Amino acid sequence: MQNLITLRYFACRGRAQALRYMLIDQGIEFVDERLPLDPNWPARKNDPTVSGPFGALPVLHWDGHQVAETLPIAGYLSRRLGQYVGLSDEEIARREMVASSAYLDVIRPLAEMVWQHGAPAGDADWHAWLTRHTQLVLGRLLRFEQLLAATSGAFFSGASPSAADHFVFEAVDWCRMLLGAPALVMLERCPRLVALGGAMVARPQLRIYVDSDQRPTTLTGNPREFEVRSRLLAATS
């Protein structure tokens, strides 16, 4: 019997895009259910069959099993997809710490920048806030480069990617899209990270997906995202 798999999230990349990549890269058929961020969401989030035990997305359904929260879903998928077979506890922890950092230290802070969470109102204070957060996020890319240089193969997982690679791939893309010139300057210092991105998009299923119109065009559910993105890019150019 074919697996019945649904990944439910909003119609943006947000917390779920790396999870989508994990499934697509392995050629797994699944329902990519995308809910609109509209006035109906507050009512639907109280339905555990929709939003899981915490009233939040993403939620994964696999053969009747429900898993919530981005990083636990990534760990669950890693096990279901056989990415941890034969690995020691230390090797698994290394991959999971990279995925966790890419998500918590890059993707989530950048999402908060798009939503302007904690951003001061004054122009000078806003630029200082942006500079501080940009340095912190881009510094993480250099850490990824150093870890990647200590591995054999194109990926953090060696010859084939795991959750760590999908999350870093997504994190680097967010940096390029939101931070412009400073991100490109940092990536000049990270040749292995750039090569990882090239190796990811060269994978057949991911290539088809990235070249298609299936990937969401927005990073977050902020209706002012493109306005904020323009301001961020102008400020960092």
Q: What is the pLDDT of residue 1?
A: 38
Band (pLDDT 50/70/90 cuts) for residue 3 is low
Computed from CA positions of residues 22, 198, 10, 93, in that sequence, does the dihedral angle turn out positive or negative? positive
Chain mean pLDDT for the chain: 94
- Domains in the chain (CATH in brackets) are 5-80 (3.40.30.10), 89-204+217-236 (1.20.1050.130)
DSSP string, 20-33: HHHHHHTT---EEE
Q: What is the pLDDT of residue 136?
A: 95
Strands 31-35 and 65-68: unpaired
Over residues 95-122, the mean pLDDT reads 96
CA distances from residue 27 to 23, 64, 160, 161, 197 in whole angstroms, order as listed: 6, 20, 14, 13, 19
Asked whether the whole model's pTM tops 0.75, one would answer yes
CA dist 112 and 151 (Å) reads 31
